[in-house]
Chain A
């Protein structure tokens, strides 16, 4: 019998930096009935056969971004159609840049993205950006980290249409240091630079996501301990004496 909730993880062999795959592990541990399927660089993506409850992609190397973009470019129309149709996506770290227009490197090179969202990233491999993150989502505090060589900007900064921010930032940068809006949200697509892993560090957000996927009110794996770690972190990040930039 087919499981009700299915998560498709895109390219776990390359999109796995900074503990990001623990996002899905945590959901699986919290809701063992859910099915996790992997789509690899070789072969046809699972979403071409059946639409899952959630498509997940985690942080990649710069070369990994190129490989993922090249692979997904063959399915760009289907991806855009799924996003427009409300299929749920969670994309963390620099994986969100794969869905943007391009990544401009300070060395003059340009990597093209899928062009689904009107954003472009600027990359400087000699300057790594590190910070803590504190924001909010639907009344929940969101905590996590930024650790990246890039930031992203809307192609037309005067036009805030087409997509919304995911998180409202209290401390730390948004999609870029000049704005407070963090991430890309369109229908059920959520893309954010915030890593942590995001769902492990933010149990209320993990619960919300499971509920959205149809799992109901789930008690998370080690929810009490996860909440205690979360509350300690929220308190720490809310303290003005806590430095935010590395």
Chain B
């Protein structure tokens, strides 16, 4: 009965794909939602690629999945993935529906899936990844994810015993999941700019997991990400199987050393976040048997996808479109830190009100006090435009972070925010938007771009 139900679900979902194409609604999770409705154990029966790679973790999983997808495609592989859908069970189901024939045979040999951490219980009982890369675990949406210890517990409970884990040794929370599983660790050795004491509001690994004394760090990047040890009981973070070494931001290169040799890889951007992405992707591909030379070649041809990071030069000005996940203090802090570290004077349009929550209730703003708005208290940040329904909360948070009132501007609607920009000479304008405001972010950034273009044309006209 189960198998019959599966086929009915598959065919209905396949029909829905055709219907969605005709109506121009492709790219949604509807086929997976429908299939799971008809056959709740659809994922159990669905044909899957021979080799499955899962990427999970709080931050970086979309970027890494996109990188892996591009690199494996460069290698000539046909890769099944959930890039166009969601990372929960219905998104995975949708990908599998696309990937199999009407007779239920999978047309792909390899699958790369981004998997939401909390969806582990609905996915891993039916889909057993050969490799799982866990980027990191940190605070995320308070409402959904609670705290990282909770997420680590879910992963430990549901990761299949046969899955090989590629773990971040510089993150004591994610590196401790599923302790019985086969595993390798990646990390980055000490590099310029490292610190010894946490300067962030969030530090979820302050105490030794063995004796509860205060942990110390040989080096620390941000929050709890670094090489920890306990000075009292001798507890140490895991050793690296894949060590990022000799990071050069000047040459935009990093070496990744393992027991068989060293490869030199191109960095895609200078943020520590993205350096970890490179090391972790290289570690996974090495585990899959790719040579350093081959992976190096892949990296040479890679770009980061536009919705996450994008910059354009217009005359003497630069426009940055940056994703700062709403209600995610950890990820938004990384963005603030990154902006504050870039040279030059800046303006920021802060579109951090959660658009989704506005429709049904009101955003839980606790995350504002986990997020280091203090990074925006820099003299080079000349103007921060606050907009949207939570602008009053953002104002108070920024004032408490020490940002002077005269560096704040206000617009009720996000679309009016560009009017509050000063667009001074050599300006760097950052438009920060969340995952549920990508379209709105694009609209706002496009307006800024047009204003910059007009400004540049006016200046040229003036010169004549």
Contact = CB atoms under 8 A, between A and B. Distances in A.
Interface of A: 13-14, 17-22, 25-26, 29, 40-42, 61-63, 67, 125, 128, 130, 132, 145, 147, 149, 195-197, 200-201, 221-222, 225-226, 228-229, 232-233, 236-237, 242-246
Contacts of B214: 13, 40, 42
Given A18-B369, A61-B147, 16 more contacts: A13-B207, A17-B147, A18-B142, A19-B369, A20-B369, A26-B400, A132-B361, A132-B362, A147-B143, A195-B366, A196-B366, A225-B396, A229-B392, A237-B362, A243-B360, A244-B361
Given A147-B143, A229-B395, A22 B369 contact: yes
A242 to B, nearest CB: 6
A148 to B, nearest CB: 9
A162 to B, nearest CB: 30
B206 interface: yes
A197 B362 CA distance: 15
Given A13-B214, A125-B150, A229-B393, A246 B361 contact: yes
A221 B201 CA distance: 19
Contacts of B150: 61-62, 125, 149
A246 B207 contact: no
Given A18-B370, A19-B367, A195-B366, A128 B400 contact: no
B72 to A, nearest CB: 35
10 contacts: A13-B207, A13-B214, A18-B367, A21-B201, A125-B153, A197-B369, A200-B369, A221-B400, A232-B392, A242-B361
A130 B368 CA distance: 17
Given A19-B369, A197-B369, A222 B147 contact: no
Contact of A63 (B139, B142, B149, B366): B149
Enumerate the 6 nearest inter-chain pairs by beta-carbon distance, A residue then B residue, closest first: A19-B369, A22-B369, A243-B361, A13-B206, A229-B392, A18-B366
The prevalent SS among residues of A at the interface is: mixed
Given A42-B212, A63-B149, A242 B362 contact: yes
Contacts of A22: 369, 400
A233 B364 CA distance: 11
Interface string B344-374: 0000000000000000111011111110000
A145 B364 contact: yes
Contact of B207 (A21, A41, A200, A237): A41
A238 B36 CA distance: 39
The prevalent SS among residues of B at the interface is: helix
Nearest to B329: A19
Contacts of A13: 203, 206-207, 214
A38 to B, nearest CB: 11
A145 B212 contact: no
A25 B396 CA distance: 13
A25 B150 CA distance: 27
B307 interface: no
B213 interface: yes
B234 to A, nearest CB: 16
Interface string B122-142: 000000000000000001001
Contacts of A29: 400
Nearest to B371: A19
B361 A222 contact: no
A229 B393 CA distance: 6
Interface in B425-440: none
The interface centre, meaning the residue of A41, A62, A225, A226 with most chain B CB atoms within 10 A of its CB, is: A225
Contacts of B212: 41-42, 67
B361 A19 contact: no
Nearest to A23: B369
Given A42-B213, A225-B395, A244-B361, A14 B207 contact: yes
A90 B109 CA distance: 58
Interface string B146-183: 11011001000000000000000000000000000000
Nearest to A145: B364
Contacts of A236: 362
Contacts of A42: 212-214
B368 A19 contact: yes
Nearest to B359: A243
Contact of B366 (A128, A145, A233, A237): A145
Contacts of B207: 13-14, 41
B38 interface: no
B146 A149 contact: yes
B460 interface: no
Contacts of A25: 400
B326 to A, nearest CB: 14
